[in-house]
Structure 1
Amino acid sequence: MRVAMPQLLGSSARRLGIVSASVTVLLSLAYAVPLTAGLMSLPSPDAPIGEPWFAMMEILIIISMPAMVAMMIAIHAWAAPSRKVFAAVGVVFMALTTVVTSSVHFVILTVSHRAELLGQPWLQPALSFRWLSVTYALDILAWDVFFAIAVLSAAVVFSGDRLARCVRLVLIVSGVLARTGLAGIVLDGAHVRNIGIAGYAGVFPVAALLLVIVFHRAGAAPTGALRDESRAVLV
């Protein structure tokens, strides 16, 4: 069986990959500041992160999500033909993550803090960002389910040289940790969900940083999965 020859990454897709991965890294570093400060200020592990840290995190999440989707699209362009289907799954589920979490945080940012709504009996179970609430449950769906599927699907794309294998490993760790955050629902403990936060706020930016290198190298010669697939093999 002859393995299909992959195409080199085009200049537009390469620039998209470099820019989107770089923006993801930079915004993730910025996100780490209020996240760390907010976690350190908690009176107890189960308490929600307070202001102004939470509002800063909401804004950074909303503006970072388009870059993460663009990065997944660049991965799809980079992927070898036989693995583009997995990259496509990654694009779809990262888009779902973006729609759900951006909607959640935009509503919280613009609606939940309005003075005329404070004291309403439905506000706490609907719009507060703590368990149990509708918005918190939707955010868990976005990150611990959709995001985990996205990065685990993208991980399948990468194989071949050392850099590609490193990307694959980091994406797998990010997805597994994000999925582990679901245990917070079963155990009814917000501190358990912090495991999931480590997956997408701590590990995923490392994958994005490695992808900057992958996309930079893709302009000259196939790397990773492209190099692996570029050898026509007769079996």
Structure 2
Amino acid sequence: MSVSTSATTPVLWLGFGAAILVVILECAYAIILALGLSALETPNDPISDPFFTIMELLIIMMMPTFVILTIAVHTICQSQRRHHALAAIVFVTMLTTITTAVHASILLLSREAAFVDMKHVFSFEWHSVAYVLDVMAWDFFFGFFAIFLGLSFERTGLEWWIRVLLILSGVLALAGLLGASTGNMDIRNIGIVGYVGVFTISSALMASLMWRRLRLA
């Protein structure tokens, strides 16, 4: 990425730090998810504590890093691609707003006596309110966020790989919507590959790119 004249070293440091945190938090989430799944007695059982609570906290912690990273990319990308980065900021803001509200509500309200019987609102079972909002956040808004963030990068060198992986991440997330439309939520695992696996790799590459620019600054 050829840094525009308006880009500054502090912005690169901000983006680099955010990208590193995304990688750390996503990897931690993947590990806890794997541990939670391995602890299930049957595949249909929900993930239990402490794994579930840790996963919820990690998701909430990820959201500011997504926003900061996207703003950094918007600042340093070429002016002719800045409209793509601006669209990514809008979509990541929607993702962050919905995700934070949903998972904070689950953590703070779902176990209260007044809400414990409201499974149709807080449970992660299809068609609960929380599950529908989570699908909208991660399969829909994340999908467009990742695609437009990818379009912010050039088609050369390391940027080409970042661009391809981000777009792939977004497409996989959007494909996860097939789970909701068919009622087979196992299909949604396609989306998980996108926003946990592929996005983590692309974030690591974004950190590498910004580190290179910092060394040249």
Q: Same fold (TM over 0.5)?
A: yes
1:32 aligned partner: 30
Q: Secondary structure of 1:191's match?
A: helix
Q: Higher mean Cα deviation, 174-183 or 32-41?
A: 32-41
Q: 10, 13, 19: which is aligned to 1:12?
A: 10
**Pair 1:87–1:152, CA change in 2 (3 A):** same
Counterpart Cα distance in 2 of 1:7 and 1:192: 44
1:179 aligned partner: 174
- Counterpart of 1:195 in structure 2: which amino acid? I
CA root-mean-square deviation:
1.8
CA drift of 1:153 comes to 0.4
Q: CA-to-partner distance for each residue in 1:182-232, whole Å, 9 max, x for gaps? A: 01112212211111111111110111100011111223559xxxxxxxxxx
CA drift of 1:69 comes to 0.6
Q: Which has the higher contact order (CA 8 A, sep 6+)?
A: 1
CA drift of 1:160 comes to 3.7
Q: How does 1:52-201 map to 2 (within 5 A)?
A: 52-118=50-116, 120=117, 123-201=118-196
Instruction: Return the structure number with greater helix share.
Output: 2
Structure 1, unaligned stretches of length 5 or more? 223-235
Q: Secondary structure of 2:214's match?
A: coil
Residue 131 of structure 1 contacts residue 137 of structure 1 at CA under 8 Å; is this kept in 2?
Answer: yes
**Pair 1:42–1:131, CA change in 2 (3 A):** farther
Residue 21 of structure 1 contacts residue 208 of structure 1 at CA under 8 Å; is this kept in 2?
Answer: yes
Counterpart Cα distance in 2 of 1:125 and 1:35: 23
Q: Secondary structure of 1:219's match?
A: helix
Residue 8 of structure 1 contacts residue 219 of structure 1 at CA under 8 Å; is this kept in 2?
Answer: no
Structure 2, unaligned stretches of length 5 or more? none
- Counterpart of 1:212 in structure 2: which amino acid? A
Counterpart Cα distance in 2 of 1:68 and 1:83: 19
Q: Taking every aligned residue pair, what percent have the same amino acid on both sides?
A: 36
Q: CA-to-partner distance for each residue in 1:41-86, whole Å, 9 max, x for gaps? A: 3455454322221111000000111011100001101110001000
Counterpart Cα distance in 1 of 2:179 and 2:48: 20
Residue 155 of structure 2 contacts residue 163 of structure 2 at CA under 8 Å; is this kept in 1?
Answer: no
Counterpart Cα distance in 2 of 1:9 and 1:219: 11
Counterpart Cα distance in 2 of 1:67 and 1:176: 21
Q: TM-score, normalised by structure 2?
A: 0.93
2:198 aligned partner: 203
Give 1 or 2 for the bigger CA radius of gyration.
1
Residue 17 of structure 1 contacts residue 70 of structure 1 at CA under 8 Å; is this kept in 2?
Answer: yes
Q: Secondary structure of 1:218's match?
A: helix
Counterpart Cα distance in 1 of 2:187 and 2:102: 21
Aligned residue pairs total 215
Counterpart Cα distance in 1 of 2:170 and 2:15: 20
Q: CA-to-partner distance for each residue in 1:103-156, whole Å, 9 max, x for gaps? A: 1000000110124433x3xx0111112211001100110011111111100111
